[in-house]
Each structure stands twice: as C-alpha cells, then as structure tokens.
Amino acid sequence: MPQPPVFDVLGVGFGPSNLALAIAVTEHNAAARPEDVVTAHFLERQPRFGWHRGMLLDDATMQVSFLKDLVTLRNPSSSFSFLNYLHGQGRLVDFINHKNLFPLRVEFHEYFEWAAEKVDDLVSYDHDVVAVRPVTEDGAVTHFDVSSRTSGGEVEVRRARNLVLATGLRASLPEGVVQSDRVWHNRDFLHRIESLEDPKRLVVVGAGQSGAEVTAYLHERFRGAEVCAVFARYGYSPADDSSFANRIFDPAAVDDFYAAPEQVKRRLMDYHSNTNYAVVDNDLIAELYRRVYREKVAGAQRLRLLNLSCVVELAETADAVRVTVESLSTGARTVLDADAIVYATGYREADPTGLLGELAGRCLRDEQDRLRVGRDYRLVTEDRLLGGIYLQGGTEHTHGISSSLLSNTSVRVGEILRSVLDRREPPPVPVQPAYAISAYRLG
C-alpha cells in the first residue's frame, strides 16, 4: 500500500486562525532555504471560505481594530495586510478619510476571502475530517494519519508530523431548545431571514452584541412587525473598549495570564469579562434606546424590551411559535405568539480531542479535567507521543480571553510556527513542496 503524502503541518479547519497560519507558512517559505521549507496543508468541511456568514449584516462593524488583521502584529510589512487589500481594491484613501478603526464586518470578510484565495493551493475545501490515527515507530507516535471525507463520499488520507486544530466554536442554546423552522440560533440568522413573509411578531433572546444587532435589524427591516427582545439583565450593558482595558488583548497579556496562578486567572476573567461577553457597543445601545423612546412619544410601541425576564416555555403550532416569558422579579408570565424566535445565546468551545480517537487518552489534563496546553499552544501529551498537536481555540483556561478572538491571531500563528520549526529534526528525505495537495485515496 502506498504511503500517504506527508506534511510538516496539517490544519483541521480553515477559518481566520488557520488561514493566518497558512499565510505565516507561505511567508516563511518565501524566505527560507530549501531545507527549512515547511510543508503544510489544511482541510475545511465548507465548500469555500466562510466566517460567520449568517451574521454579516450590512451595517455591522468589527469589534477589533483593522490593525488586528491576519498578519500586521506579526509582520507589519506583509502583503497580506488589510491595508494592502484596501489598496488593491482602490479604497485605501476612502478608508483613511472614514477615520474609523473598525471596518464593516462584510468588508473584513471580503478581506479574509481575498487572503484565502492567495493561499488556496494549501487548502482542500469540502473535506470533513472523520478520523485521526497514530503512526508509530519503535513504540512512539511520530506522525498522524488524518482521514477526510468529501461530500461525494470519497475518503482521503494525509500524514502529518504536526496537527493544528482550529475547529471553531459551537452554537450554544439553552437546555431543551432545539432548532427548527421557527427556532433559530443567530449563527444562521441571514440564512433563515428570507423565509419570513410579512411577520407580525419576532422574539430575540440575548443581551449581547449579536442579540442587539439582530433586534435592531429585525426592527428596521420588518416595519409592520413587533420585535420583542428578552434578556435577564436590566438593560444592555456597554462593552468596555477603553484603552487600558483593551490591554487584556495584548500579546504580552497572554504571557501574564499563562504564568498566573489559577485563582489569578479566574480573577482576570471576572475583571475583564465586560470587554467581550454579553456586552454591546455604546452606539448600538444608544440607537436602540432612541427607537424605544421615539415610539413611546408616538404612542405606537413596536420595539419591546422584556428585561429581567427569561423564556420558560416554547411550543410550536402550525403557523407560529408560542413563547412564554417569565419575569424574574415577579414571576408573572407573558405569552407571545411569534413568527420566529432567534436565540443570540453565544457559543461554546468544543473539545478538540473528539477528533483524536485513541490519541485523546494520551493528552494530559489538569485537576479540573481540562486539557493541559503549553505556552506554544501545543497539547501536553505522554512522552511517547512525539508528534505535535496544537490548538487554535479551546485554550481560554490557559491563555486567556483572547484565545478564540481575532486580537492575537497573527501573533499566535507565529508562535505555533516557531514551535514547529524549533522541534523539527532535519528530514531524512527531500522535503515535499508546500503546494502539493495530492492524497492517498481509499476505496
């Protein structure tokens, strides 16, 4: 049986994190001696690059500076920068005149697509990773065989010295809530919105940025519909994006967090949760308040904020979803018959070891059963597991609040690549070119 193609780095998932890694590898190889070239490939289950497409609202902006793009903090002179993208699109001067650090989310997604096209020789789309198996030599795991399946059912195997898992976040829904034609998570918002025809009432659950954006969008788009926002807080809470607070996203803050005792880590997360979790941009809060007040003056309230409340029952009928909302202060219940309910209830980190099969048992865990992760984002494993398994995401407990955010992506991938290079032994055979994407096919 022929040996599968062997790569120094095989990435699972191709969102912004592994896209940034592909760029870092490309830039390294462009300046490297032939013997120092890193072979890399990435597998992505989607048919093309996509990042939160369901929330690419027309007027929604990024919550991070454009300078925290895929490359700039790692390599300010990179040709893959957002500024170089703007220059190529003929919009650089216009963007400068806009005097805004925060691009439209749609525009930043177009930048990601532009960058992904420049490294598309390193990625196989429409490949769902289904298994990872150890390759042993003298009792030690030296490589990983990664099997992926295409939408046509064909299985391919690639062999890697190092894995980089960037499988993203999973939509979080309250216990017992199941998605349906009328019950959505905001992840799929724009994919579902076209199914609504002249809705009379819509319900949004959640007090964070996504919940506020969805509420504003529905209220603006469906002028004949009542929009009810339900959340347990008294009101939307503003995000702290002040200069000092933003230091929690600095690359140096990762070092501070990683070295801190567990009780300090917890305190840091508590102190700075209002920079990222269940908070809303001030401008959007002000806009929603203006709308509520304007409607009170007009005597026709179409935007209702059901604060200090939670949804306690859902029941779908033939033409609606019946939503029972309970006041947390009085226990009084309000029943709303809605055309749809949107849960903007966030995301949760997925356990990446679910892909690793028997290798998962060789990854060490701490006293709270969390994965142990090195400062270089490499999983701490048994000594006989020589191949590297790196995480992009799923490291908040070790690396802090920015572990799943764009803020440190460009720096993080540089650290991962440096770790791979530092741990690499000279290959015994000529290195396979980084652009090779052939695979050993099964069946």
pLDDT per position as a tens digit, 263-277: 999 999 999 999 998
pLDDT for 68 beyond 60: yes
C-alpha closest to that of 216 among 280, 288, 286:
288
**What whole-number distance in Å separates Cα of residue 359 and Cα of residue 133?**
7
Q: Supply angle C-alpha 267, 271, 276, rounded to 5.
A: 120
Q: How confident is the model at residue 425 (pLDDT cuts 50, 70, 90)?
A: low
pLDDT per position as a tens digit, 134-154: 999 999 999 999 999 998 999
- Taken in order of first residue, the domains within the chain and their CATH numbers are 6-168+350-442 (3.50.50.60), 171-239+277-343 (3.50.50.60), 245-275 (no CATH)
**What whole-number distance in Å separates Cα of residue 173 and Cα of residue 392?**
23
pLDDT for 365 beyond 80: yes
Please state, rounded to an integer, the average pLDDT across all residues of the chain.
93
pLDDT for 242 beyond 50: yes
Mean pLDDT of 58-71: 95
pTM for the full predicted model: 0.93
pLDDT per position as a tens digit, 89-137: 999 999 999 999 999 999 999 999 999 999 999 999 999 999 999 999 9
pLDDT for 1 beyond 70: no
DSSP label at residue 346: -
Do 16 and 393 contact (CB within 8 A), yes or no? no
